[in-house]
A and B are shown apart, each in its own frame.
Chain A
Amino acid sequence: MQTIDLATTPLRELNAALQAQAATTNQTEWLIENPKGAHAIAVGLDAPIEVTVNGPTGYYCAGMNKQATVHVKGSAGPGVAENMMSGTVVIDGDASQYAGATGHGGLLVIKGNASSRCGISMKGIDIVVYGNIGHMSAFMAQTGNLVVLGDAGANLGDSLYEARLFVRGSVKSLGSDCVEKEMRPEHIAILKDLLERSGADAKPEDFKRYGSARTLYNFHVDHAGEY
């Protein structure tokens, strides 16, 4: 276990050390102490290492992650795991705005609640939120899966493309072109796998699926009022 104390180590040194790890590194376990809400912790990683952050983080923790597992023992600020490519990011507490924004892959697990715009413009990432999510979540979401064990705020999935949204609780309102869809066996299978991998205690059958009605994919004047 390598331990880096952010109270005494500059952010640049921390990230440089983590980013320098090769795919074959034997230094696979890292502990970061005293994050105290610092921004851009553990960004741009590209190795199969396990990083534990012992406390709350600021903006963009684990941004653009590849391969690594980052576990935040606290809450995360805006843009956690933004543009993640692969790997796993787990937040024990709540996540602020834009969690998992534009993520292309990997798994983001938020054990608390997520604020507004969770999964905005997601491009293949899987996001599982144990609690509730805020308004405008999955706005313009392209691909990937967003799973919410609690409730969803207003305008869920506004202008989304092919992302799948699974919500167990209530949805305050659906955004433009987002509709409830049939939960077929293949969706149950996808959801079951995501719940298992994220350690969430929930039954797939209790969720509803939402997705794109695909009426806005090509502009038509009769739909102008939807925008």
Chain B
Amino acid sequence: MEKTPHTLPRESYTFSSAVNAEIRRAAATGIYDIRGAGTKRHLPHFDDLLFLGASMSRYPLEGYREKCDTSVTLGTRFAKKPIELKIPITIAGMSFGALSAPAKEALGRGATMAGTSTTTGDGGMTDEERGHSEKLVYQYLPSRYGMNPDDLRRADAIEVVIGQGAKPGGGGMLLGQKITQRVADMRNLPVGIDQRSACRHPDWTGPDDLEIKILELREITNWEKPIYIKVGGSRPYYDTALAVKAGADVVVLDGMQGGTAATQDVFIENVGLPTLACIRPAVQALQDLGMHRKVQLVVSGGIRSGADVAKALALGADAVSIGTAALIAIGELDPKWGAEYAALGTTADAYDDWHEGRDPAGITTQDPELMKRVDPEEAGRRLRNYLAVMTLETQTIARACGHNHVHNLEPEDLVALTMEAAAMAQVPLAGTNWIPGKTGL
């Protein structure tokens, strides 16, 4: 007798195994999922853009002979002492507390060797970080943990943090496992508590107030330090315009691929704008105000390679900032700790429980034994190497497009592979002259 054919087991796209697992986890624990890093969903990104390169109407520069400058100056609007960087790639704000002291030292060492800046985070400035960072940007955050005028004055720039791409509208989070005695002392908090820092600044509420706050910061630092304003990707045109109005020297714009030490997964995955969608509106705001290149724009969130750097610059950014990629460069998510990642129920590349303080790589932890795995000198050299590769890649593309400075890259050098990317980046769909919302076919 002939067997009746059966359908194959078919998983629901809507109720996938990952979704079902999260429902079961939520039902068992009663608390939302908290994790580190940035969004993991597929988004339109720099991969969806291509450079056209030289052709009959453009001629390229010789790759190993003709100079292609990569220097950038940040803070030229008001600050007496703008920051001069050799490369247009900076290290984003990450706190001591979220990261181990050796990891912060490694970031400082690598950035200094590469001729760029690194940035403090929620929790204040450590002596090790200041000592190993030739150029250090001091974040001024809603929590004001560890905030003091001496550190303001010994910083090279001040970054007023309004938000970050992983969680626009959310505050900091550092769970009790990572609040050691030193971290607690720096933050004036009891040891071991869950630290949920404020999402709004305590002493100003809008751009008019912020303008006065910036006046105070400048008065305290003798108008020397560049003042950055960092915003999460949300309403980039208006946020950029208001940052300029408030008196920023530099606007830092962080898309939703940007990472965080810890927050709710639902926040990371469902709030904010992709980095690609942020840049052109921000540049438009600067251009409308006559401030493009006068107020510098630093873009972050998912920058991984020189190609990404070149594309961000071509869309109008003055520099980029990296966080997650820098951590990977100094050893985070290294497969050599594969067995230990497996013991934590994950894999090297998927590990994101940065808030738990059990990072096998010794980077997102305060465990004294685990952090010994980070050699700050060796990790610093790895970061230097990685930044060098990114810079060379950026120059390679710029020369191929005929530019003797990476800032001469422009939207005309780009096309998009998808309609979404064409619309967001406002460059033509490849092989057409069609920019969605701008031009006809």
A-to-B contact residues, CB < 8 Å: 11-12, 15-16, 19, 39-40, 43-44, 46, 58-60, 63-64, 66, 78-79, 82-83, 85, 97-98, 101-102, 104, 117, 120-121, 123-124, 139-140, 142-143, 161-162, 217-219, 221
Tell me the complex Cα distance, A15–B215, Å: 12
Instruction: Given A78-B209, A219-B194, check contact A98 B220 (CB 8 Å).
Output: no
Q: At the interface with chain A, which of B87-95, B144-152, B315-323?
A: B144-152
| Interfacial residues of chain B within 169-208, with CB under 8 A of chain A in the complex | 176, 187-190, 192-194, 198, 202-204
The 9 closest A-B pairs by CB, nearest first: A44-B220, A221-B30, A102-B144, A79-B203, A98-B203, A217-B193, A64-B149, A101-B203, A123-B188
In the bound complex, what is the Cα–Cα distance between A24 and B188 (angstroms)?
30
The docked-state distance in angstroms from the alpha carbon of A221 to that of B152 is 38
The answer to whether B219 and A40 touch across the interface, beta carbons within 8 angstroms, is yes
Q: A217-B190, A218-B193 are in contact. Are A43 and B148 (CB under 8 A)?
A: no
Contact B216 A102 (CB under 8 A): no
Contact with A along B131-165 (1 / 0, CB 8 A): 00000000000011001110010000000000000
B residues near A43, Cβ cutoff 8 Å? 216, 219-220
A28 to chain B, nearest CB (A): 20
Please indicate the chain A residues that have their CB under 8 angstroms from the CB of B21 in the complex: none
Indicate if B31 sits at the interface (CB-CB under 8 A). Answer: yes
A104 contact set on B, CB distance < 8 A: 147-148, 188
**Are B212 and A39 in contact, with the CB atoms below 8 A?**
yes
From B29, which residue of chain A is reached at the shortest CB distance?
A221
Contact of B144 with A83 in the complex, beta carbons under 8 Å:
yes
Size of the chain B interface, CB-CB below 8 angstroms: 31
* Prevailing SS type, chain A contact patch: loop
Are A219 and B31 within 8 A (Cβ)? yes
Contact B202 A98 (CB under 8 A): yes
Chain B residues, CB < 8 A from A123: 144, 188
B372 vs chain A, min Cβ distance (A): 28
Shortest Cβ distance from A221 into B: residue: B30
B267 CB to nearest A CB, Å: 15
Q: In the complex, A161→B194 CA distance in Å?
A: 11
Whether B213 sits at the interface, judged by CB under 8 Å, is yes
Specify which of A11, A39, A46, A117 is in contact with B149 (CB 8 Å cutoff). Answer: A46
Q: Within 8 Å of chain A (Cβ to Cβ): is B222?
A: yes
The docked-state distance in angstroms from the alpha carbon of A44 to that of B189 is: 25
Q: Say whether A161 contacts B189, CB under 8 Å.
A: yes
Q: Assess the B143–A121 pair: CB atoms within 8 A.
A: yes
Is there contact, CB below 8 Å, between A39 and B215?
yes
CA distance A46 to B222 in the complex (A): 14
List of B residues within 8 angstroms of A15 by Cβ: 219-220
> Do A59 and B209 form a contact, CB below 8 Å, given A102-B144, A120-B203, A142-B188?
yes
Contact B148 A140 (CB under 8 A): no
Residues of A within 8 Å of B189, CB to CB, are 142, 161
Task: Decide if A117 touches B220 in the complex (CB within 8 Å).
Answer: no
Question: How far does the Cβ of A145 sit from chain B's closest Cβ, in whole Å?
Answer: 14
Residues from chain B with Cβ under 8 Å of A39 in the complex: 212, 215-216
Kindly state the separation between the CA atoms of A53 and B31 in the bound complex, as whole angstroms.
52
Question: Does B237 make an interface contact (CB < 8 A)?
Answer: no
Residues of A within 8 A of B219 (CB): 11-12, 15, 40, 43-44
Complex Cα distance A104/B203, Å? Answer: 15
Task: Give the Cβ gap from B138 to chain A, nearest Cβ, in Å.
Answer: 13
What are 22 A-B pairs with beta-carbon distances under 8 A? A15-B219, A19-B220, A19-B222, A40-B216, A40-B219, A63-B216, A64-B148, A64-B149, A82-B202, A82-B203, A83-B144, A83-B148, A83-B149, A85-B148, A85-B149, A102-B147, A102-B203, A121-B143, A121-B198, A161-B193, A217-B176, A218-B193
Q: Are B220 and A63 within 8 A (Cβ)?
A: yes
Contacts of B209 in A (CB 8 A): 59, 78
**CB-CB < 8 A to A221: which residues of B?**
29-31
Distance between A183 CB and nearest chain B CB, rounded to angstroms: 22
Measured CB to CB, the closest approach of chain A to B173, in angstroms, equals 10
Enumerate chain B residues within 8 angstroms of A58, measured Cβ to Cβ: 212
Q: Which residues of A contact B143 (CB under 8 A)?
A: 121
Partner of A140, one of B29, B198, B222: B198
